[in-house]
């Protein structure tokens, strides 16, 4: 057998599945304005050119979105709806106008403003929101491309089924891929929540993102094997590796067929204990897909999307309509809304925010909301009104002290009294808190009597407990909930909840990780909320867990979780 020169690329498991195929390298060069400045006196005509370019881009985005909707790909279509909103955003236009009036060319201006907006979003302490930075850059590039008179780089030339290698992929890139021609994605950049990952999952193709600079060394590979479940790819795989991946593909196909039956069953352990399997949503429009995957409710509805990229705060009525749409979609199933979780990392219209050296440890979440009643009360009133149409619940983020919970509950009572006095219909709403600070976990026994449930946000709990920024690649080994300190805090939270007679859910990334689900259940978690595509597998994993042995399992977990991976696997097999 001839010697092979395989190269392994390890990254983030972004979309499950395996594939082997010829490569297609997508290497668009950076978009460079053909001029940086304009002549004085031409400002008005240059702004007219900018406005016309925006119209053209919006038309193209609309056509793409309508095409996706017509073909049944509504979730992908929503991405382009968001792009249209940014292209037409008045703040973008105002910033570009100011630069053009300073004699900067509109193409240079829109690229610069797009980069500024993207940087602000990328700095946000919410992985999903931070991943939207690439979308902002994508839209700005499309507008600049129209102004320059060139086509934005695309993948229309893909004429055979291929594995696509790229530094990054924007939604506008993936939307232009001819149907059936993408076998998988491997990108140097990206996260589980970036749109390349979302698009890959919705297209049903495997993807590995965030492999880093090593991708540059493999762009000349003829063939690539992708394992989106394990999170790695192999460039120029040898015959043995190809055979291995073909066997994996057969296993995946068999497993996916078996998972279909779990979409329409209740989440229950092997011995019958009820474990709710819910979805994390960013908008009411995502409800349909979540229900199709078998979501038994919504464990986390991120309300901050209503407040992003606007000139003014959303009104109470605007919020009410969105919240109502979500609860009506789920009927009797619970929908848990997280109140606004935005801090000094992102400006809010009408809210004076201080400049903070570390906004993620600053004035954000419930801290900001309690200080700004004009921000908090309209949201609570809208949630109470929406509760009349379904099973709405509310939880407060970034809680560190019971006094914050008491104060927030007082606002809920005030809003309830106001609505009653005004004769406005409203419903009952359960109140909970997110346990995402070590302080909330340590003081869970004090907080529990004040609320109806806990929802553990493992993403923040991990980074705050281990002092490890979850976006820092060098600290990847400290970015898992499978750490003794984090597991201990989760256990303390569950014990406090048990004593107070309330339930505990998990809505961070850990909730959807098959290896962690049994551990979370062993500690007393009875609700897991995750991205919708993970739900069928989660129900299967839960169905194989014996709840009655959870206390023994908890002891086992604490005894073994610091062993090397190979040793932990050996013990499980034993």
Measured distance CA(530)–CA(435) in Å, rounded: 16
Cα 185–chain centre separation: 19
What pLDDT, on the 0 to 100 scale, is given for residue 554? 45
Q: Is 456 helix (H, G, I), strand (E, B) or coil?
A: strand
Measured distance CA(440)–CA(487) in Å, rounded: 14
Q: Is 245 helix (H, G, I), strand (E, B) or coil?
A: helix
Q: Answer yes or no: are the C-beta atoms of 331 and 291 closer than 8 Å.
A: no
For the segment 433-482, what is each residue's pLDDT rounded down to a tens digit?
A: 999 999 999 999 999 999 999 999 998 898 899 987 765 656 667 778 88
Measured distance CA(106)–CA(148) in Å, rounded: 10
Q: Which two tokens stand for residue 133?
A: 């930075």
Q: Answer yes or no: are the C-beta atoms of 114 and 91 closer than 8 Å.
A: no
Active site residue 195: yes
Q: Answer yes or no: are the C-beta atoms of 366 and 408 closer than 8 Å.
A: yes
Q: Which residue has the tokens 């014996």?
A: 546
Measured distance CA(106)–CA(91) in Å, rounded: 15
Active site residue 443: no
**Is CATH 2.40.110.10 correct for 7-27+154-239?**
no
Q: Answer yes or no: are the C-beta atoms of 522 and 472 closer than 8 Å.
A: no
Cα 413–chain centre separation: 32
283 Cβ neighbours under 8 A, 6+ residues apart:
78, 305, 322
What pLDDT, on the 0 to 100 scale, is given for residue 566? 38
Q: Answer yes or no: are the C-beta atoms of 202 and 17 closer than 8 Å.
A: no
Q: Do domains 7-27+154-239 and 273-573 have the same CATH topology?
A: no
Nearest to 290 by CA among 201, 206, 209: 201
Measured distance CA(467)–CA(486) in Å, rounded: 12
What pLDDT, on the 0 to 100 scale, is given for residue 553? 43
What pLDDT, on the 0 to 100 scale, is given for residue 157? 61
Q: Answer yes or no: are the C-beta atoms of 326 and 287 closer than 8 Å.
A: yes
Looking at the DSSP assignment, which residues form a beta bridge with residue 20? Answer: 225
Q: Which of 415, 443, 494, 507 is catalytic?
A: 507
Measured distance CA(310)–CA(196) in Å, rounded: 25
Measured distance CA(210)–CA(113) in Å, rounded: 25
CB atoms within 10 A of CB 247: 11
Measured distance CA(38)–CA(102) in Å, rounded: 9
Measured distance CA(450)–CA(559) in Å, rounded: 33
Domain ranges of the chain: 7-27+154-239, 43-148, 273-573
CATH of 273-573, one of 3.20.20.60, 3.40.367.20, 3.40.630.30, 3.50.50.60: 3.20.20.60
Helix axes of 133-148 and 74-87: crossing angle, nearest 10 degrees? 60
Measured distance CA(115)–CA(514) in Å, rounded: 37
CATH of 43-148, one of 1.10.274.10, 2.20.25.90, 3.40.50.720, 3.40.50.150: 1.10.274.10
506 Cβ neighbours under 8 A, 6+ residues apart:
299, 455, 456, 458, 490, 520, 525, 527, 528, 529
- Which residues of the chain fall short of a pLDDT of 70? 1-4, 27-31, 67-77, 122-131, 150-154, 156-157, 172, 193, 202, 308-310, 343-360, 470-476, 548-574
Looking at the DSSP assignment, which residues form a beta bridge with residue 391? Answer: 334
CB atoms within 10 A of CB 446: 14
Q: Which of 26, 195, 483, 494 is catalytic?
A: 195
Q: Which residue has the tokens 């003081």?
A: 443
Provide the H-helix boundaries in 188-305: 195-203, 214-217, 239-259, 287-292
Q: Which helix (H) or strand (E) holds 47?
A: helix 43-70
Q: Is 550 helix (H, G, I), strand (E, B) or coil?
A: helix
Nearest to 541 by CA among 569, 563, 564, 520: 520
Nearest to 507 by CA among 207, 128, 195: 128
What pLDDT, on the 0 to 100 scale, is given for residue 573? 37
């Amino acid at each position: 057998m001839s010697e092979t020169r395989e190269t392994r690329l390890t990254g983030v498991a972004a979309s499950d599945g395996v594939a082997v195929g010829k490569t297609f390298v997508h290497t668009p060069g950076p978009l460079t304005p053909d001029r940086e400045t304009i002549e004085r006196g031409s400002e008005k005509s240059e702004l007219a050119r900018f406005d016309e370019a925006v119209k053209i881009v919006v038309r193209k985005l609309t056509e793409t979105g309508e095409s996706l909707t017509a073909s049944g790909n509504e979730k992908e279509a929503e991405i382009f709806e968001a792009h249209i909103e940014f292209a037409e955003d008045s703040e973008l236009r105002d910033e570009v106008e100011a630069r053009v009036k300073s004699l900067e060319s509109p193409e240079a201006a829109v690229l610069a403003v797009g980069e500024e907006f993207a940087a602000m979003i990328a700095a946000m302490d919410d992985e999903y929101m931070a991943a939207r930075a690439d979308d902002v850059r994508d839209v700005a590039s499309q507008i600049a491309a129209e102004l320059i008179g060139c086509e934005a780089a695309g993948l229309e030339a893909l004429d055979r089924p291929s594995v696509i290698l790229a530094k990054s992929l924007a939604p506008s890139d993936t939307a232009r891929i001819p149907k059936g021609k993408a076998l998988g994605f491997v990108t140097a950049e990206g996260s589980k929540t970036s749109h390349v990952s979302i698009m890959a999952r919705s297209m049903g193709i495997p993807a590995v993102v965030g492999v880093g600079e090593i991708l540059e060394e493999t762009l000349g590979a003829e063939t690539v094997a992708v394992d989106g479940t394990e999170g790695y790819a192999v460039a120029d795989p040898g015959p043995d590796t190809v055979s291995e991946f073909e066997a994996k593909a057969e296993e995946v196909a068999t497993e996916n067929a078996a998972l279909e039956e779990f979409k329409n069953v209740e989440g229950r352990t092997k011995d019958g204990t009820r474990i709710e399997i819910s979805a994390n949503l960013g908008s009411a429009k995502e409800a349909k897909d979540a229900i199709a995957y078998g979501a038994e409710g919504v464990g986390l509805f991120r309300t901050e999307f209503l407040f992003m990229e606007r000139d003014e705060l959303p009104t109470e009525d605007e919020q009410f309509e969105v919240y109502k749409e979500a609860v009506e979609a789920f009927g009797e199933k619970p929908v848990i809304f997280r109140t606004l979780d935005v801090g000094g990392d992102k400006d809010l219209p009408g809210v004076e925010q201080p400049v903070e050296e570390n906004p993620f440890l600053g004035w954000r979440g419930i801290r900001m909301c309690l200080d700004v009643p004009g921000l908090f009360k309209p949201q609570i009133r809208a949630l109470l009104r929406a509760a009349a149409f379904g099973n709405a619940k509310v939880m407060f983020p970034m809680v560190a002290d019971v006094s914050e919970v008491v104060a927030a509950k007082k606002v809920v009572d005030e809003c309830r009294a106001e609505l009653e006095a005004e004769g406005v219909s409203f419903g009952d709403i359960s109140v909970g808190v997110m346990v995402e600070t070590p302080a909330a976990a340590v003081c869970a026994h004090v907080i529990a009597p004040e609320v109806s449930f806990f929802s553990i946000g493992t993403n923040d709990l991990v980074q705050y407990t281990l002092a490890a920024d979850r976006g820092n690649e060098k600290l990847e080994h400290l970015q898992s909930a499978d750490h003794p300190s984090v597991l201990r805090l989760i256990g303390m939270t569950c014990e406090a909840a048990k004593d107070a007679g309330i339930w505990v859910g998990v809505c961070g990334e850990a909730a959807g990780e098959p290896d962690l689900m049994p551990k979370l259940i062993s500690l007393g978690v009875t609700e897991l909320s995750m991205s919708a595509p993970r739900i069928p597998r989660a129900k299967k994993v839960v169905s194989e867990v014996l709840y009655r042995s959870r206390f023994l399992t908890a002891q086992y977990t604490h005894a073994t979780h610091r062993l090397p991976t190979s040793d932990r696997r050996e013990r499980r097999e034993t």
